[in-house]
Amino acid sequence: MDQSFYQQGIAEADAHDYQRAIQSFDQAIAAQPDFTEAYYQRGLARFKLNDLTGAIADYTAAIRLDANHTRFYFARSLTYLNQGDLQAAIADAEQVIRLDANHAGAYNLLGNLWQRKDQIGKAIVHYKKAAELYLSQKDTVSCRRCMAIAQQLKPKSPDQLAQSVAPIEMGEFLQQAITKAQRGDLGGAVEDLDWAIQIDPQDANAYAARGRVLEKMGNTYYASENYQLAARLFAQRGDAVMQQSMLNAVQQIKRPERHYAPAPVSRPKPPVSSGRISPQVQDKLRQLVGYDRRIASDLVEQLKLKNPGMPEDWYWEKAIYDLERDRR
């Protein structure tokens, strides 16, 4: 009987008769009080009728019954957003990412939420992450939209950049990365450090930390690149001690050849700089992104933010490498 009421409610919701749908879901829940999906669907119907408090109550009930379902947190996050409770919306969107690190929609939503809270640096980072995930999912429309928003939000001057980064506690990213690395989550640590560097491409400590994590992962080539970038930034700050520490770290890394990590021959090769961008390289990257020049350009610009000071062709080769690696 509960399934019959539930299916009736789904049909009524599909017909946009949300009031009747709610009544049917009421009967389904009365017959089976632990009917998780009925709570969720009733929440959607209540949301459509702008009963935000009722929708949140239903999503919360669904979460109590199944705390590992991303749909429930995502729907509640959107409802909190519409209710104006941005902090609660952020908490739920972040929980979605904890459950599914590749949830592009959650990163997109977080970008919107941080934008509403005027924390533009965090908004840009989340929009760009959403764009990367949409691209890997071949959703080029959503990818372009997120990159366009990120570009619009990007500060136009050093003063604007300082203002946008000010609310962000960089130490939070670094400490989180260190904690992840200590418990063995090296990939997660690198991701957090990537975010920190996207927010502040001049953060020498973030490059130094990423170099250490990459070295632990066996990625000696990119570890050395990060150490060198950190040394350059420490030198600009006049910190000779840390500059020398980074140069010593470079010397300690044995680099008989430029490689990313021990891997089968079939894996894509890491970028090798020749100083020029060949037409073949340009065409290959554009082919990988469906010949969308905007996406290709945005990927290169992201890498320039993460790794300033590299030769132009290095960014194109690295973009190709990352796309081929992620699609394997």
42 and 108 share a domain?
Answer: yes
Q: Return the pLDDT at 304.
A: 74
Residue 197 counted as domain residue? yes
Q: What is the mean pLDDT of residues 99-106?
A: 93
Please say whether the beta carbons of 223 and 212 come within 8 A. yes
Residue 108 counted as domain residue? yes
Could you give the CA distance from residue 168 to residue 34 in angstroms, rounded to a whole number?
Answer: 41
Residue 258 counted as domain residue? no
Q: What is the mean pLDDT of residues 172-185?
A: 74
Q: Return the pLDDT at 320.
A: 83
- Closest among 35, 37, 6, 40 to 23, alpha carbons compared: 6
Residue 72 counted as domain residue? yes
Q: What is the mean pLDDT of residues 83-96?
A: 95
> What are 96's two structure tokens?
């979605």
Q: What is the mean pLDDT of residues 32-40?
A: 94
238 and 141 share a domain?
Answer: no
6 and 102 share a domain?
Answer: yes
Q: Name the average pLDDT for the chain.
A: 80
Question: What is the DSSP code (8-state) at residue 158?
Answer: H
144 and 177 share a domain?
Answer: no
150 and 8 share a domain?
Answer: yes
Q: What is the mean pLDDT of residues 16-42?
A: 94
Residue 95 counted as domain residue? yes
155 and 179 share a domain?
Answer: no
Confidence of residue 166 (pLDDT cuts 50, 70, 90): very low
171 pLDDT exceeds 80?
Answer: no
186 and 158 share a domain?
Answer: no
Could you give the CA distance from residue 51 to residue 47 in angstroms, rounded to a whole number?
Answer: 5
Residue 112 burial by Cβ neighbours in a 10 Å radius (0-12, 13-18, 19+): buried
Contacts of 106 (CB under 8 A, 6+ apart): 70, 74, 77, 93, 94, 96, 97, 100
pTM greater than the 0.85 cutoff: no
> What are 41's two structure tokens?
């669907």
- Closest among 211, 222, 223, 323 to 272, alpha carbons compared: 222
Domain interval for residue 216: 169-252
Domain CATH for 218 = 1.25.40.10
44 and 112 share a domain?
Answer: yes
Residue 82 counted as domain residue? yes
Please say whether the beta carbons of 302 and 286 come within 8 A. no
18-32, 67-81, 284-298: lowest mean pLDDT where? 284-298
65 and 180 share a domain?
Answer: no
148 and 220 share a domain?
Answer: no
Q: Between these two residues, 244 and 189, which has the higher pLDDT value?
A: 244
Residue 261 counted as domain residue? no
Number of domains into which the chain is organized: 3
119 and 173 share a domain?
Answer: no
What whole-number percentage of the chain has pLDDT above 90?
A: 35
Residue 201 counted as domain residue? yes
189 and 63 share a domain?
Answer: no
> What are 38's two structure tokens?
């009925």
Could you give the CA distance from residue 124 to residue 118 in angstroms, rounded to a whole number?
Answer: 11
Q: Between these two residues, 148 and 276, which has the higher pLDDT value?
A: 148
Q: Return the pLDDT at 173.
A: 57
